[in-house]
Amino acid sequence: MKKFISILSVLVLLPLFAVAQNDGGIVRADNSKFALTNAKIYTVTNGVIENGTIIINNGIIEAVGADINIPGDAQVIDYSGQEIYPGMIDSGTRLGLSEIGSISEANDFREFGEITPNMQALTAVNPNSVAIPVTRVSGVTSTLTMPAGGPLPGTAATISLFGYTPDQMFAGSKGVVMNFPSTAQRGWRRRTPEQIEKAREKAQETINDAFDKAELYAKIKESDDARYYPEMEALAKVVNGEVLLYIEVNSAKDILSALEWIEERGYENVVLTGVAEGWRVAEEIAEAGLPVITGPVLSTPTRGSDAYDTAYKNPGLMQKAGIKVALRTMDTENSRNLPYNAGFAATYGMGREEALKAITINAAEIMGVGDQLGSIEVGKKANIFVSTGDPFQTSTKILDVFIDGYKIPMTSRHTELYDEFLNRTPGLNKNEVKVDG
């Protein structure tokens, strides 16, 4: 993807990144050896450790437990009375790809054309995005950033929310995005059943043709006569099961069609995303053995006849049917609301433990990075956050965030605005305010 950033957006973006990263009296990310002590540690995979300690060294969790010897060269941070969790993972966003909605040059999540699976979202990620600090100071340390567009709009990437370049931010997982043909009404313009079916058939034909070519390309690409075909090279990796295929599908009817299509094709390493009506066909999804990334949970029902809390219950109903579920916000700046999406899912049937897994270990495992992220375990990346309590509660404060072992400055444009107006200089005397008229 070509990177276009307007002069205005550059002026807006660079100063904040400098505040978080540069020297000269300004707080800089610290990658010392750390000993985080006396905290209540939610490991996610191995229970809760009361009054525990975590040793972080060279970006990796070196030790975790209740009785840990603290190295003499470690920087000790006492978190008595606080809680430590694995960094949260948002399994679907536009983070890093979109800045100012009204300026097309500041949005780079969509390409021209219908079949562009070779377009890499990672190359378009803007490490200086002002939305990244806003997100990470909320405890979200990784996201799946996804392209949008036609039937096969590009390849999504899992990124960590700290780094100077996209390559530094890459968290080890990619997947081709596919928008499954939809039979649902979209937008304000109502379509007749005939128009819907015609559009669906055309989209399905486009997808089938692309994968037919990809299967052929996968067979002949090593031959002497084969020519490099970037679109088919990307899809051939899906055909061979080398990379994930994220299939965006939402209505119950379309989900069943997608399951049938996957079975006919015989593809493995497939994840269903969106899945807004997954609760209607949860048994079928579970039988197919496919994991699901669903959300946003803070959403309205897909049908006017559904109860107001249908979207809130959807993740829990699928989880109870035996489906591995991860959550997403499918947002940019408001990816920071991921814990509250999980909180609603927890309250409406999923339960706190499973909701926490849905934004940590489940998300990591679904993306294929469960050996690196998603829980507090020895040998995993030190992506964690420290809070005053339950992160699903809006009253909870995130005190510190570590990404790849770096202690991240807890600054963002939101915190800067808060500090600026909390301590105004010169101060404002309401008696001096004059109102015309």
Q: Which amino acid is at 394?
A: T
CA dist., res. 318 & res. 262, Å (int): 19
Q: How does DSSP classify residue 432? A: G
Question: Strand 48-57 to strand 60-65: parallel, antiparallel, or no bridges (unpaired)?
Answer: antiparallel
- Tens-level pLDDT at each residue, the chain (437 residues): 444 333 334 434 443 443 444 444 566 799 999 999 999 999 999 999 999 999 999 999 999 999 999 999 999 999 999 999 999 999 999 998 877 666 666 666 677 778 999 999 999 999 999 999 999 999 999 999 999 888 999 999 999 999 999 999 999 999 999 999 987 766 556 778 788 788 888 889 999 999 999 999 998 887 767 788 889 999 999 999 999 999 999 999 999 999 999 999 999 999 999 999 999 999 999 999 999 999 999 999 999 999 999 999 999 999 999 999 999 999 877 899 999 999 999 999 999 999 999 999 999 999 999 999 999 999 999 999 999 999 999 999 999 999 999 999 999 999 889 888 888 877 767 666 566 65
In CATH, which of 3.40.50.720, 3.20.20.140, 2.60.40.3680, 3.65.10.10 is domain 88-373?
3.20.20.140
The whole-model pTM stands at: 0.89
Considering the chain, tell me which residue range(s) the CATH 2.30.40.10 domain(s) occupy. 31-87+375-437
Distance between first and last Cα of the chain: 54
* pLDDT of 332: 77
pLDDT confidence of residue 276: 97
What pLDDT is recorded for position 168? 96
Helix ranges restricted to H, 187-331 = 193-220, 230-239, 252-265, 282-288, 310-320
Instruction: Report pLDDT for 109.
Output: 65
- What residues does CATH 3.20.20.140 cover in the chain? 88-373
CB atoms within 10 A of CB 57: 18
Contact 307, 272 (CB under 8 A): no
Interstrand relation of 34-42 and 154-160 (parallel, antiparallel or unpaired)? unpaired
Q: Are 233 and 118 in contact (CB under 8 A)?
A: yes
The tokens of 234 are what? Answer: 């990307």
Confidence (pLDDT) at 96:
85
Please tell me the predicted confidence (pLDDT) of residue 432. 65
What is residue 430's predicted lDDT score, i.e. its pLDDT? 64
* CATH architecture entry for 31-87+375-437: Roll (2.30)
Handedness of CA 367, 372, 373, 374 (dihedral sign): positive
Query: Which pLDDT value is given to residue 185?
Result: 65
